[in-house]
Structure 1
Amino acid sequence: MNMKYLKYILLSFVVFFIVIKLALLIFRLPSYTIKTSGKLYIVSKVSKDVQVFDLSAGKEIEEIPIDILSHEAVTTSDEKRVVLTNYGASDGNVIKVIDAKTSTVKEIDLKGNIRVNGIVAFPEPNKVGVIDFVSNNILIINIDTEHIEKQLPTKQKKSHLLVLHPTKAIAYVTNIDSGSVSVIDLKLNKVIAIIPCGLGRKGIDITPDGSELWVTNNKENNITVINTSTYKVTNTLITGKDPLKLKFSIDGKYCLAVNAIDGNIYVYNQESKKRVKIIILHGKTTLLEKILYHTPRPVNILMHPNGLYAFVANSNANKIEVIDMKTFKVVSTIGTGRVPDAMAFIN
């Protein structure tokens, strides 16, 4: 074999490698084609920043360093601030508050052996509730005074996420190790019910009318449906593998659950409790897709207040998948920092 032939083979391999790399770059590029209102705050865990994306202009307008490993974020009721918790880190007793107007970041040190994760915004614009999974308490925090105003025990182990009833002063908390949901009366300041529903309880959401809780179980791969009047389990729905989070549509007709290992999203009809659609993300179905795209891992979900779109954090692909809530199809993608997770919305 002469030298000229070897050079030709080597050049062919180089050209082939370059073509493959270019193809991967092209196919993996985000493509944002819709136009809607508001700004999406996207929290990326590994790059430890918050990207502010203008949903009308279709572009990033700010990147805010936060220097924490945040999984959860919430917008205050007046939509002037975004509050983030710091999950699983040595400084997990810190939360950060982003001013939506100035993009400045305030750090609140909760002090002591506290590790916070789940977070909700209260009707008062200066108050949030967070879950301390060390003491298994709900901490009600005044973000103006930076003080913990209340500590309410969940009376369970490894409390994780929470939601508020839309019209009553009641909080519902998932407890991973106890396999339960704690029901806490925020006026009486005590647990009024413990609902057993299987190990591995993680994601939780409540119907807009407050009649049902839906809770994911990533160990048993299902959703527990709970009647909020009787505190009884009424249905168990099968999911894909590793259902981390779920979210109801704004009108309450549908619930979307993200299956992290399967790389898809299940859509359920709330009334019939039947799965009506599987939204498959690129990267899992064929060998070609597996080569061209990152393996999808949907981990979090947020609904646009206008009810037209859902945003799904695809952590492996460093993208937000934008889902049309009429067709249940991915209609756009938003490029993010490394390993996106939590999201918040401001109009």
Structure 2
Amino acid sequence: MLLSQAASAYGKATIPVGEDPKDVAVNPKTNMVYVANFDNVAVIDGSTNTVVSKIPIGDVNGWAIEVNPNSGKVYVAGHLSASILVLDASTNAVVATIHLNGRPTGIAINPETNTIYAASSDVMEIAVIDGATHKVIERIERDGDFRRISMDPSSGLVYAGNVQYGTVDVIRNMSVDSFRKSYDAQIDYPQAIDVNPETGRVYVSDSDSVLVIGSDNDGHALLERVEVGGIPMGIAVNPETNMVYVANFDDDSISVIDGKTNKVILTPWSVWRDRDIFRHRRHGGAHPLQQAQQISKGQKVSF
């Protein structure tokens, strides 16, 4: 069955965005969504969920993307070019290129200080960039393989998905020792991550789902596991609308999760039935379809 036919049959839809979407970012002030593709950035109007523009970036293999809502700048990790491309959202054009020591896999931004953090897994470092000058001002070495990082400006915490150890590391003040502060959230492959500063919830991608992690004064805890499309590689949260956008690499699509209910409101129909059954047998617990029904009814789900 074609994906479009399945979507129509199940009352759901997709947003075609381009070749191999790997990450997604949201500007909460403009409600515009940016998707990093292999050779372009797709711009989605969040009010209509339609693609309104595609910005060419060359064959850099856009691997990660983040936006500073205060400056209106969009930052794209050029994996093949070992650089960060800076886009001006008002003109939809590349205005600067920041060269790094390695191939970037993750970007985080503190909009209050206009500081950008770029993780390169091949050289195991995070480059700290001044957003005003587009210059690297510090390089922090660390252990592990971090593909995505995200910052909560309200708490000053940086969250990094460590695919080497299957953990999410909580980083304070970007110090090397703080990378040891991690917790096990039952994650196979935490490749994408983002945080909602309004709710304090952290969203982490796994093999075929998104984990919702809550935080308070006592620490962090797994709240929900939400099934999405095939191989989620990018997550972005709009704190103004409390919507979570997930870039599904294998489906060339975007899933949209309502942060209030943790329910998917826009997603491709799942064609991974055999894989879902395998995952159910491997991890135990309820089948993903049963989990979705439990979540929709507000019931507690065991993982």
Q: Shorter chain as normaliser: what TM range?
A: 0.5 to 0.7
Between 1:243-252 and 1:92-101, the stretch displaced more is 92-101
**2:200 and 2:138 mapped to 1: Cα distance?**
27
Deviation string 1:287-330 (CA, Å, 9 cap, x unpaired) is: xxxxxxx99966554445258675667888999584665xxx75
- Aligned pair 1:68/2:19, yes or no? yes
The 3-state SS of whatever aligns with 2:219 is: coil
Give, in angstroms, the shift of residue 109 of structure 1.
Answer: 2.6
Q: Which amino acid aligns with 1:273?
A: G
Q: Which amino acid aligns with 1:333?
A: V
Equivalence map 1:43-82=2 (5 Å): 65-76=16-27, 78-79=29-30, 81-82=32-33
Give, in angstroms, the shift of residue 333 of structure 1.
Answer: 3.4
| Correspondence for 2:76 | 130
| Contact 2:256/2:265, CA 8 A, preserved across alignment | yes
| Correspondence for 1:218 | 163
**2:121 and 2:107 mapped to 1: Cα distance?**
12
Distance 1:313 1:339, change over 3 A: farther
| Contact 2:28/2:240, CA 8 A, preserved across alignment | no
**1:258 and 1:279 mapped to 2: Cα distance?**
12
Q: Which amino acid aligns with 1:337?
A: P
**1:253 and 1:145 mapped to 2: Cα distance?**
32
Q: Which amino acid aligns with 1:131?
A: A
The 3-state SS of whatever aligns with 1:334 is: strand
Structure 1 counterpart of 2:239, from 300, 305, 312: 305
| Correspondence for 2:280 | none
**1:277 and 1:135 mapped to 2: Cα distance?**
36
Give, in angstroms, the shift of residue 173 of structure 1.
Answer: 1.2
**2:259 and 2:26 mapped to 1: Cα distance?**
22
| Contact 1:208/1:252, CA 8 A, preserved across alignment | no
Q: Which amino acid aligns with 2:264?
A: T
Gaps of 5+ in 2: 272-303
Give, in angstroms, the shift of residue 215 of structure 1.
Answer: 0.4
Deviation string 1:31-87 (CA, Å, 9 cap, x unpaired) is: xxxxxxxxxxxxxxx979xx9xxxxxxx87x8654443222233346426433221x
Distance 1:126 1:323, change over 3 A: closer
Distance 1:114 1:336, change over 3 A: same
Structure 1 counterpart of 2:192, from 245, 255, 258: 245
Gaps of 5+ in 1: 1-45, 52-58, 87-91, 283-293, 341-347
| Correspondence for 2:108 | 163
TM-score by length of 2: 0.67
| Contact 1:315/1:339, CA 8 A, preserved across alignment | no
- Aligned pair 1:333/2:279, yes or no? no
- Aligned pair 1:199/2:144, yes or no? yes
| Correspondence for 2:288 | none
| Contact 1:183/1:193, CA 8 A, preserved across alignment | yes
The 3-state SS of whatever aligns with 2:111 is: coil
Deviation string 1:256-307 (CA, Å, 9 cap, x unpaired) is: 433327x562625254334x3352457xxxxxxxxxxx99966554445258
Larger Rg belongs to: 1
TM-score by length of 1: 0.60
Q: Which amino acid aligns with 1:172?
A: Y
| Correspondence for 2:281 | none
| Correspondence for 2:97 | 151
The number of aligned residues is 262
Distance 1:124 1:300, change over 3 A: closer
RMSD of the TM alignment (CA)?
A: 4.2
| Correspondence for 1:228 | 173
| Correspondence for 2:67 | 121
Give, in angstroms, the shift of residue 95 of structure 1.
Answer: 2.4
| Correspondence for 1:93 | 39
| Correspondence for 1:176 | 121
